[in-house]
Amino acid sequence: MWADAQKDLDIQLCKERGEFLQPEKDLVKVFKLLATSYIKYIQIFRHLETAHDQLVHQQKQAVIRQVLDGVIGRILEVKREMVKLENSEFHYIDDILDDLKLLPEDTEVPIPRYFIKEKLEVLQQREKTLDQILLDAGLQIEESVEAMTPEEGVRIIQVAERARQGRRRAAFMKRIYLKEKKEKQPKLQVQMGPSPDDAATCIQKVWRGYIQRKKTEKMREEEMIFLGMSLPPHLETMSVSQMHARQVNTPQDEVQETQEELSIKDKLRETEGLYIKKNFQDEISQCFIECRHIIGKFPDYPSEEAGGSMSVFDSQKTAEQIAEELAAQREMALQKKDQKGKKENESKEKKKEKEKAGKKEEEEGWKMGPSNFLSIMEEGSSRYKDIWQNRDEQWDFLQDHDPELIKEENRKDVEEEIRVQVDKVMQQELENLRLAVDGEGSGKQKKGKKSEKKKATTGRKKIPELEQDLTPDRTIDSLYRELVEEGLLIKAKTVNLSDYVGEYNYMGTALLQAGVEPVPSLAHVRQLIALYGILPLGSQTVHEKAPLVKALLLAGPSGVGKKMLVHAICTETGANLFNLSASNITGKYPGKSGLLMMLHMVLKVAKQLQPSVVWIGETEKIFSKGGRKTDDEMNPKRLEKMLPKFLQAVKAQDRVLLVGTTTRPFDANLKPFCQVYQKIILIPRPDYSSRLVLWKHIILQNGGVITNLLNISCLANLSDGFTQGHIVQVVQDVLTELRLLQMIRKPLRTEEFVTPLARQDPVYKEEEESFKAWYDKTPLGRARIRALVDKEKEGKGKSKGGNKMKK
């Protein structure tokens, strides 16, 4: 699977270097190209993820992990391009899937299992601490264990004991019966004598029994080897201590590994250290002398920040090249000074250039933007080819790790260590040489001090309020406890993203071609949550380098599963959940300083114990139109000004995501609202196919049984306009405890659900329209409408032109 995925990735990388770099004017073609790449990357992602999860070899896992992160990041970049191109978060690609002979399920974004697996222990420990704090604070009641009366206990024991006696008696009777049967048989045989057929059967029985026992024994041995409980024959010569070392459990394994690594390093230092040191010294002094021949004096020693001798003295470079490089470094340092003055002019020029490039791009057509992940994928791919593709691993049955590779890696580390030591010695030697031969010093140190002083005086920038540490004397544990006790840090429900049931919209492209705007499906929503919420929160590399989404807004009618999705993000990534909903913070942390302290604490804990999700329910209230803008603790609007600052304090390396949920986004002041929430996901009510699976799923989930008497299709049709929350409510109303007990005798009928459904308030057309109208006013919605209008104008222009031609 890994090899296949790498092959597919290579093809994809070739495409990236070819098709993606050529400008293309036909936007339909561009979209097709992007969508096909998106699907291909998702497939590669699925295969790599499974391979990463199933392999136990740690070094292989590390290589896959690198490529995996690269692929995830690239998927996000391609998605960004698709959104830019279509001005919409939802894309309909059923025609492309049809061409590729794939099912929509094949494009489901998988969630890497390592997100949770790798820190399972930490998460379990954190959950325990959270439970304890909640119990201590009285915010959670311990689940009572139902006590049993002695009579009940005695009865249960009696029932179990009688059953045991019954079974023993039955077994005893069976034995007597078989014995009697056996006793009868020989007599018969003696009387009649065995026939040749019976004799053959008897011999066959013995032979088959023998051969089967042998086979089973062999299979058992193989199984033991497979399970790692015994060693394969060729390894049986290993010493007992080695065997023992292999059998210890994982934490000890890890300790052993680090020890093994250390001992390998020590050995390398011992055996090769001196040789490496001498080599470096010879190499560097040779270079100095040759450089002096060329430029007439000794060069400056490269600074530590620039990488020391590593930056210049590469064994493959000639002395002339090195001399040039050193001279260039000097010039660069001089130029830097001049550049400061010129910077302003340059930035203006750059702006102009950018504008020009933008115009040029428009003229040339679409071209894929630069990527942060291509290099990562390429590096991983070449590592796979160099090391793993054709490696002979027959000897490595246990597939744990390859000591030779560790040695190679450690050799680099040891070389690096020694190089630093050598640099110090050689720098001093160079100084001495200069003094002795040229009679001059470098005078570097003084300069350094001056510039440091300057930095110290000019570098005092004002740190934003939220980035200052307001609680330097408090531990993270105490802040964590306070937040839990205040109800700001809550326990996330265990829901997986796959629990968010919903089908695909198979008609998307057909509807678009007919000029009808299709309604996005729940599967689309699920995908967006995985892309924008889960993947960046789970992987540090992806979060740092992929298009950054700091805040996500989930807008939609009540009951479409907004809260459920927030909890799913936390479950899938093991994130902490902070609840800053309007109703949850009223009356807490009064005044401006209180609010600042609250946000500071949330941010500090969220960053330290990342990943974290900061959830703001009824988020429209914070940005509501009009009203007082006071710092009163009862007023949710007090957060309005602070939220942008909060987001500013979240940097690319902090895996913290702000998620807002709202049922009435139209009540909010659009501009500040959209400034905070740059990604908006409008969740629609479920369509027919989603309702169909939802009814089935929810009835089964609540203990119901589906028979022919229950017409799910009819229920799905009837519930048009209702949301998942309504369906859950209806099913719970019907499936009471009593009704569940009656289920065997009285199967569920369609009519039973109709009355409770009629009691619910559906999502009315007006509400739906207002959601659409609001979305059309958001930046992306506006861009989409503008693009549609432009397209129409173009179409008209063309048809007019065509008419004129005809005339």
Ligand X SMILES: Nc1ncnc2c1ncn2[C@@H]1O[C@H](COP(=O)(O)OP(=O)(O)OP(=O)(O)O)[C@@H](O)[C@H]1O
Footprint on this chain of ligand X (rule: CB under 6 A): 500-502, 522, 558-564, 661, 663, 694, 724-725, 728
**Nearest distance, CB of residue 498 and ligand X, angstroms:** 10
**Nearest distance, CB of residue 354 and ligand X, angstroms:** 42
Nearer to ligand X by Cβ, of 674 and 731: the residue is: 731
Nearer to ligand X by Cβ, of 371 and 661: the residue is: 661
**Nearest distance, CB of residue 329 and ligand X, angstroms:** 59
**Nearest distance, CB of residue 561 and ligand X, angstroms:** 3
- Give me the sheet containing 679-682, strands edge to edge: 489-490, 576-579, 612-616, 656-662, 551-555, 679-682
Q: Going by DSSP bridges, is the β-strand pair 489-490/576-579 parallel, antiparallel, or unpaired?
A: antiparallel
Cα–Cα distance between 487 and 489 in angstroms, integer? 6
SS3 at position 651: coil
Nearer to ligand X by Cβ, of 380 and 557: the residue is: 557
Cα–Cα distance between 3 and 47 in angstroms, integer? 9
Backbone angles phi, psi at 704, to 5 degrees: -75, 165
Nearer to ligand X by Cβ, of 72 and 569: the residue is: 569
Nearer to ligand X by Cβ, of 373 and 615: the residue is: 615
**Nearest distance, CB of residue 585 and ligand X, angstroms:** 17
**Nearest distance, CB of residue 496 and ligand X, angstroms:** 11
Nearer to ligand X by Cβ, of 672 and 725: the residue is: 725
The sign one gets for the Cα dihedral 61, 65, 71, 72 is: positive
- Nearest residue to ligand X, scored by beta-carbon proximity: 561
C-alpha distances in Å from residue 246, one per residue of 257, 415, 525: 11, 30, 46
Half-sphere exposure of 332 (CA within 13 A, CB side): 8
Nearer to ligand X by Cβ, of 81 and 503: the residue is: 503
DSSP string, 130-185: HHHHHHHTTSSPPPPPPP--HHHHHHHHHHHHHHHHHHHHHHHHHHHHHHHHHHHH
**Nearest distance, CB of residue 725 and ligand X, angstroms:** 4
**Nearest distance, CB of residue 564 and ligand X, angstroms:** 4
Cα–Cα distance between 375 and 357 in angstroms, integer? 24
Nearer to ligand X by Cβ, of 275 and 688: the residue is: 688
Residue for token digits 């007023």?
635
Cα–Cα distance between 110 and 535 in angstroms, integer? 9
- With contact defined as beta carbons under 8 Å apart, do 422 and 281 qualify? yes
Nearer to ligand X by Cβ, of 381 and 690: the residue is: 690
CB count, 10 Å around CB of 107?
A: 20
**Nearest distance, CB of residue 730 and ligand X, angstroms:** 11
Backbone angles phi, psi at 344, to 5 degrees: -60, -50
CB count, 10 Å around CB of 315?
A: 7
Nearer to ligand X by Cβ, of 299 and 561: the residue is: 561
Cα–Cα distance between 289 and 319 in angstroms, integer? 9
Nearer to ligand X by Cβ, of 112 and 559: the residue is: 559
**Nearest distance, CB of residue 769 and ligand X, angstroms:** 18
Cα–Cα distance between 704 and 712 in angstroms, integer? 13
Q: What is the signed CA dihedral for 63, 67, 70, 76, rounded to 10 degrees?
A: -140
**Nearest distance, CB of residue 778 and ligand X, angstroms:** 19
- Cα angle for residues 311, 70, 34 (degrees, 5° grid): 125
